[in-house]
Amino acid sequence: MPQASPLMFIQPQLSDTQEVPILPMSSLNEYLENNRDRFESDLSDWLRIPSVSADSSFSSNVKQAAHWLQSHLEDMGMTAELIETAGHPLIYAESPPVPGKPVVLVYGHYDVQPPDPLEEWTTPPFEPTIRDGNIYARGATDDKGQLLTHVKSARAWIESAGELPLQVKYLIEGEEEVGSPNLENYLSTHQHKLACDCVVVSDTSQFARGVPAITFGLRGIAYYELRLSGPKQDLHSGIFGGGVTNPANILARLLAALIDENGRIQIPGFYDDVIPLTDREREQFQALPFNEAQFISNLGVNGLSGESSYSTLERRWARPSCDVHGLWSGYQGEGTKTILPAQAGAKFSFRLVPDQDPASIGAGLREFFESRLPPGIEMELIDFNGTSGILVSLESPYIGAAARAIEQGFGCPPVFIREGGSIPIVSTFMRELGADVLLLGWGLNDDNAHSPNEKFSLADFHRGIRASAYLWQELARIEL
């Protein structure tokens, strides 16, 4: 009897004819072994370019990193163009079409987070250094290292088999770390050029060391700032307290009203469009090697709480939530000050799951607050643009193809997870291109993305290249 594995839930619809170039595993492994040093050296070269998109003093370096990638793709025989935007350029490249086969679009980014605080880096952020099997540099995992696996895998095909078994397109941006301000417009005006059957993104993580993962769902987000105004200036709380409505009191009341004691969000209709967790998903999550006691201990807390009747992973990945991110009002200094503050504010958001719509949530929220506003308080509710969550069916053939490729690349089958965070641009890809998205994370959660000493395991770099090479083959086997 087979051991229960996440793969047992996948029902791939494979083509029996398999009229695609086949790259024998022995040949691929040999090629990859022979090119280890060269690939690592290329990664190092790219990481050395400080492509910090948020800081305009680095803008020539950002462009340099774009050119590096363009040249690299052209050197593989692809057509590669540098597309200017209002900000940093996009790189677009494609291999020749392969009729009858799926088209895959790789998305990634060549820009990196600022490296501060510099003094916390063991070795400088833009002097890539190998220690203990990891390469340390800003961008090592996020996203140059992970992205490069999908470039090197194509090179492996081209240099080993002469061609790719399907068309691969690349759309690589230089503004992911600053919110991709120019990408959505490009996507919506170039749908034909970018047309594809699935989008591959490696900007997430493995579930744990040695447990590669396919992320089949992301939460969306609807982010708000609530500003309450009371009297035109701070008042003496002795003279006025009890007589005049206090915006800080009301802020607490409104925020508290959002969530009941069972962790359920109280806006009418909030859960109407939530796709319930399936039994399969719940079983998958239950089977994951998630050590809750360790999780609690790592956080330094004495316990967890949240929506009742759901496990911790379910609450983090697949259920909507509401978190206050910031609060402010009145006197925050030492000691006492007896004011009735003129203003109070909060930033908070809902994490959303498919098919919740940020706009509907916002409308419900506004009504919820307005109906609870006492005399003496004026409210301003700022609605930052939200993002829908995404969910790829576990039954998708692309998921099946990716699972088999990962098993070949990493030597073990992936687990199927969702992520609680949001990647707004992924929702945009799904919406604009109508394609499934494969979120294939090669990195680790402790790779220090956005922190000092960012790293990427070189073993995972090479496993990622191998998995990606097999992915092209597995995807090419899907009957359209």
Nearer to a second copy, 190 or 227 (CB): 227
User: Interaction with a second copy in 259-288: which residues (CB under 8 A)?
Assistant: 259, 263
Nearest approach in angstroms of CB 220 to a second copy is: 10
User: Interaction with a second copy in 299-318: which residues (CB under 8 A)?
Assistant: 299-307, 312-313, 315-316
Nearest approach in angstroms of CB 227 to a second copy is: 12
Pull the structure tokens for residue 150. Answer: 């999908």
Instruction: Give the C-alpha distances (Å, rounded to integers) separating 208 from 263, 446, 447.
Output: 28, 9, 11
Q: Is beta strand 415-419 parallel, antiparallel or unpaired with respect to 213-218? A: parallel
Q: Pattern 312-351, binding to a second copy, x per CB under 8 A?
A: xx-xx--xxxxxxxxxxxxxxx-xxxxxxx--xxxx-x-x
Nearer to a second copy, 276 or 411 (CB): 276
Report the residue from 54, 98, 252, 274 that binds a second copy according to the rule CB under 8 A.
Answer: 252
User: Interaction with a second copy in 379-398: which residues (CB under 8 A)?
Assistant: 384
Nearer to a second copy, 26 or 302 (CB): 302
Residue 418 binding a second copy, by CB under 8 A: no
Pull the structure tokens for residue 304. Answer: 């967890």
Report the residue from 59, 85, 245, 428 that binds a second copy according to the rule CB under 8 A.
Answer: 245
User: Interaction with a second copy in 181-220: which residues (CB under 8 A)?
Assistant: 219
- The helix (run of H) or strand (run of E) holding residue 303 is none
Nearest approach in angstroms of CB 450 to a second copy is: 9
Radius of gyration for the alpha carbons in the chain, expressed in angstroms and rounded:
25
Q: Are 237 and 340 in contact (CB under 8 A)?
A: yes
Nearer to a second copy, 34 or 336 (CB): 336
Of 42-50, 80-88, 117-125, 374-382, the segment contacting a second copy by CB under 8 A is 374-382
Cβ count near 457 (within 10 Å): 22
Burial state string for 378-393 with b = 16 or more CB within 10 A and e = fewer than 16: ebeeebeebbbbbbbe
Cα dihedral 106, 109, 182, 64, rounded to 10, equals: -120
Residue 257 binding a second copy, by CB under 8 A: yes
Q: Are 202 and 213 in contact (CB under 8 A)?
A: no
Cβ count near 260 (within 10 Å): 12
Question: What is the rounded CA–CA span in Å between residue 239 and residue 250?
Answer: 19
Nearest approach in angstroms of CB 204 to a second copy is: 11
Instruction: Give the binding-site size for a second copy (rule: CB under 8 A).
Output: 80
**Torsion sign, CA atoms 266, 267, 272, 274:** negative
Of 66-74, 228-236, 268-276, 464-472, the segment contacting a second copy by CB under 8 A is 228-236
Nearest approach in angstroms of CB 342 to a second copy is: 9
Beta bridge partner(s), residue 391: 217
User: Interaction with a second copy in 22-81: which residues (CB under 8 A)?
Assistant: none
Residue 289 binding a second copy, by CB under 8 A: no
